[in-house]
Chain A
Amino acid sequence: MEIILSVIIGLLYSAGIYLMLRRSLIKLVIGLVLLGNGVNLLIFLMGGLVKGRPPIISATAENIGLIYADPVPQALILTAIVISFGLQSFAIVLIKRAYIVVGTDDLDKMHSTEEEDD
């Protein structure tokens, strides 16, 4: 399972970076989404995989019992998901505005910030 996850994480990272390097705005955003998912999976993997034992301990249990999944990575992922939810919705609105105002989705044509005069 760890190996499959590592491969998937690697694929997500490489696909994300590849899409970011493309010139299209839409592909840029999709790349960012993929990267965000990749890093969430990485946190999950790094926390150690435990199958079928959620970190919920019943109130009646005397002791913790068997090894259960580490809740910290799950909390981290939840936080990261919420944050990337906000960032990605911003990104979508931003590229839409940028496309309307600039009139192109080609990043290479977005160079008015480098021009000498405003």
Chain B
Amino acid sequence: MKQLIFRTATGFLLPLLLLFSVFILLRGHYLPGGGFVGGLIAAIAFVLHAFAFTLKETRKLIKINYRLLIPIGLALAFFSAILPMFKGLPILTGLWVYEPLPVVDMVGSSLLFDTGVYLVVVGVTLTIIFTISESA
């Protein structure tokens, strides 16, 4: 799959898909979407890039060690889960910032949780797919 059209299109699609994945992540609380789907879309963007160019190029593009995203995401989710404990509430209780923020609307601990999920999904999916295609 080294066609010119595919390569050129991927160049445009990659940032668009990443942006779209963040959009999906942010609208997730009240509308369909969320961290898991967003993370999958982001991972697919990179997989598309790896198909169009090579795995090596994609690795260069990502720069950071994507495996590190897994513990970071887990830590975020963990933190958002225990946050209510400090207020004397059962874990995983949603805490909310009362004033709606621009663009993102209502922000709460569930967004933090979803961001964690997003990072974990990106990390895990990239690890799985890159490992499989490397050994192929």
Please say whether the chains A and B touch (CB closer than 8 A). Answer: yes
Whether A61 is near chain B, meaning CB under 8 Å from some CB there, is no
By the criterion CB–CB under 8 Å, are A93 and B31 in contact? Answer: no
Residues of B within 8 A of A112 (CB): none
CB contact under 8 A between A82 and B36, given known A89-B128, A92-B132, A93-B132 = yes
**Most B CB atoms within 10 A — which of A56, A78, A89?**
A89
Residues of A within 8 A of B131 (CB): 93
**Smallest beta-carbon distance B121→chain A, Å:** 9
Provide the B61-97 mask, 1 if CB < 8 A to any CB of A, else 0.
0000000000000000000000000000000000000
**Smallest beta-carbon distance A58→chain B, Å:** 9
Can you name the residue of chain B whose Cβ is closest to the Cβ of A92?
B132
Q: Which of A56, A82, A89 contacts B30 (CB under 8 A)?
A: A56
Can you name the residue of chain B whose Cβ is closest to the Cβ of A57?
B30
By the criterion CB–CB under 8 Å, are A56 and B31 in contact? Answer: yes
A-B contact count (CB 8 A): 16
Interface residues on B, range: under 10
Interface size on A, residues (CB 8 A): 10
Provide the A37-71 mask, 1 if CB < 8 A to any CB of B, else 0.
00000000000000000101001000000000000
**Smallest beta-carbon distance B50→chain A, Å:** 16
Residues of A within 8 A of B32 (CB): 54, 56
Can you name the residue of chain A whose Cβ is closest to the Cβ of B30?
A56
Residues of B within 8 A of A96 (CB): 132, 135
CA distance A56 to B124 in the complex (A): 30
CA distance A29 to B31 in the complex (A): 34
Residues of A within 8 A of B128 (CB): 89, 93
**Smallest beta-carbon distance A67→chain B, Å:** 20
Residues of A within 8 A of B132 (CB): 89, 92-93, 96
Residues of B within 8 A of A54 (CB): 32
**Smallest beta-carbon distance B32→chain A, Å:** 8
Could you list some 16 contacts between A and B, CB below 8 A?
A: A54-B32, A56-B30, A56-B31, A56-B32, A59-B30, A78-B36, A82-B36, A86-B124, A89-B128, A89-B132, A92-B132, A93-B128, A93-B131, A93-B132, A96-B132, A96-B135
